[in-house]
A and B are shown apart, each in its own frame.
Chain A
């Protein structure tokens, strides 16, 4: 198991190196440059050339990449063109809000998807199954920005129960943190939950038709025991996979929802970085998201072994 993890980490480093090359090339090859953007309409050719030279943009791209990589290996991801702050500090500063939203949204998603998926599979073809299908279809189809605005108008505008936007640190004010978290978590959670519901349903449905389920039932086991002991256990592997992917996706930042709720997460940061062509921040964000994906994939693989005793890693 330990050697398996080491091997996977080594593979991950190679993947990261590849990601860094691709990202570096992409961000530098798209039209637009950060100096031009920062000058906006008040463009002035002399100042532009001077600032470009100062930022090192007159050097060949491979040289710029070499410098970036050397610094990155030492943990220095550069300095934001936009704010002048170190990228690592900027990224770390975005983690609390990102983790809060991703974690709570996944929680909402699981609270919806697991019961709904299981019951609609067990009672497949029933009214409940029908309702669940409609719900998950609606959740996938409704644009999240629209749902966000509706929730804000209802719960903040009309009812006045919850703050419409913003973020509060849980350490400074746990109640405030929670009240600011509810609406964005529901918005993101409903979309994720709708996707997950379908996977839970199909996975449980498949497991229900397996031989071991028939055997368990013919042993005379209580239906409840059949479902919890045999069906769910076997249905877990695909559910873990999709849940992991959803979590990785959420940790990468939910751009539109973050922008609407003025939520200081990674998605909002990435959007700003794209708009202002803030190369170092954009590269740093993508690398961080890549690390998160790799890490979650590894954890998901290890969880398979826990869910299914037949899977062992050497």
Chain B
């Protein structure tokens, strides 16, 4: 009886599983399943990425996973070089009028979208006006823009109401400002049609996205037949995939394994300093954090090296300003050091005793949780007791928006132009100024810098503003993490970029 019952059960289960396979999964997505081993010339590169894109509409998404894929599918008018200067992409040249209020872009001839339609000025006007008119998340990049128009098929004119020296950064810093076809519809939000080196083939939810080479690509390459992005959220598992030849490339590398991997001859591991920064900020709308002395005490109390080492296992460089040395807008300014005595003095000056701090961090970014434990210890040494509040990111963002925090820790990623991050975070009208910093001098400097077209003068304005921001501890900047990526030796021509853009157009698989 039991044997019969068991046998029936087994048959039933197998039947269920087999029927299950008949449901509308994307069978196309599985062709790559055995693509790991047998590449000839060309070949399909398998990239293991940690997250799954939420959507593939470049103007709507803010997810890094989406941009990892879209980087290879779409183009912008201009694009950042590895040194983060702007070079021609879909526009070959551009001029600014003498009054600085009209930008004229000449477009590249002979470019077509993946669906075969020609790329023209109408597509550019449509893309930018879509972001502006629909008030999409990146509309703030066009705050000075009054009109975008197609002057003729191959010329686009952008009118601004004030000089906008960072217009190129605003339209080219990342693929969120991609040029989509004028015929953009809902379908293209999930199966994108761009002008980039690879075209979208399929998306198997929870598993992978497949791209194939665009033979009509305007630039060099691609030499690969395609790229498959596999979503593997667990770092150890991504590395096992890489070591076992199931994947060729990954950026999902647990920081604690970097040292061990650098001794592994079967993999190539490279890292470059990124322009990302991580920081903590105290809520200046709450007492006693409205007093600069209290915020400065928090800054003097910490040992950045220890915080960084706990958070990133040394795959990061400490910094007291936002972006790292070597960036065009780096400000060489580091007034703080690890000095608990100074911290205690400042608290005394402010008349604050028995300070209790609630430090809000999120498990979405484990480095904030690890750093928080070091901060707790170091603040403890100056007599501040810390209550670490670890939240999921959705709740965290909600609490931040409501102003329900004493101190939070977070990072900003992919920073290129200072107007983007200093204005948003430290101008009293800034969209990300949740900690309530308001200093009219800083506001003036940031307003001027926005419109200053002379590079050196603009840099000086930011230097001045940054020193005030650091002195008053609006943000206490901590470190710039490295971008760490690994691949198998068969991958040739790949470069790790400081802005975390993942580009496979010039990559070859040599097997």
Contact = CB atoms under 8 A, between A and B. Distances in A.
A152 B33 contact: no
A93 B233 contact: no
B135 A46 contact: yes
A11 B183 CA distance: 50
A90 B24 CA distance: 10
B57 to A, nearest CB: 8
Given A32-B394, A41-B432, A259-B234, A269 B240 contact: no
Interface string A259-283: 1111111001100101111000000
B27 A169 contact: yes
Given A44-B137, A276-B54, A276-B394, A262 B232 contact: yes
Contact of B10 (A107, A163, A169): A107
Given A95-B23, A259-B233, A260-B237, A168 B30 contact: yes
B73 to A, nearest CB: 17
A42 B54 CA distance: 16
A31 B399 contact: yes
B207 A262 contact: yes
B366 to A, nearest CB: 14
Interface residues of A, number: 78
Contacts of B219: none
Given A32-B398, A41-B410, A50-B134, 12 more contacts: A47-B140, A51-B137, A84-B186, A92-B24, A97-B25, A104-B13, A110-B9, A114-B2, A177-B21, A232-B2, A262-B230, A262-B233
Contacts of A233: 1
Contacts of A85: 190, 205
A157 B238 CA distance: 11
A93 B55 contact: no
Contact of B137 (A39, A110, A164): A39
A12 B431 CA distance: 48
A223 to B, nearest CB: 15
A261 B231 CA distance: 10
B52 A176 contact: no
Contacts of B395: 30-32
A38 interface: yes
Nearest to A306: B5
B319 interface: no
B311 to A, nearest CB: 17
B206 A94 contact: yes
Interface string A214-255: 000000000000001100110010000000000000000000
B334 interface: no
Nearest to B140: A44
A74 interface: no
28 contacts: A32-B393, A36-B397, A36-B398, A38-B63, A40-B62, A40-B63, A44-B137, A44-B140, A50-B134, A82-B54, A83-B55, A94-B205, A96-B25, A97-B20, A99-B17, A99-B19, A157-B243, A163-B244, A168-B30, A169-B30, A170-B21, A173-B30, A228-B1, A233-B1, A260-B237, A262-B207, A265-B206, A277-B394
Interface of A: 30-34, 36-47, 50-51, 82-85, 89-90, 92-100, 103-104, 106-107, 110, 114, 149, 152-153, 156-157, 160, 163-173, 176-177, 228-229, 232-233, 236, 259-265, 268-269, 272, 274-277
A55 to B, nearest CB: 12
B412 interface: yes
Contact of B30 (A172, A261, A269): A172
Please indicate which of the listed interface residues A33, A39, A103, A153 has the most CB atoms of chain B within 10 Å of its own CB: A103
Contacts of B137: 39, 42, 44, 47, 51
Contact of A92 (B13, B23, B207, B244): B23
Nearest to B401: A36
A53 to B, nearest CB: 10
A195 B331 CA distance: 61
B135 A50 contact: yes
B34 interface: yes
A43 B431 contact: yes
Most buried by A among B206, B234, B392, B401: B206
A261 B234 CA distance: 8
Contacts of A107: 9-10, 13
Given A95-B23, A107-B10, A156-B244, A173 B33 contact: yes
Given A31-B398, A38-B62, A83-B55, A163 B236 contact: no
Contacts of B230: 166, 262
Contacts of B241: 163-165
Closest 5 CB pairs of A and B: A264-B206, A32-B394, A99-B20, A103-B13, A96-B20
B6 A114 contact: yes
B383 to A, nearest CB: 32
A100 B17 contact: yes
B150 interface: no
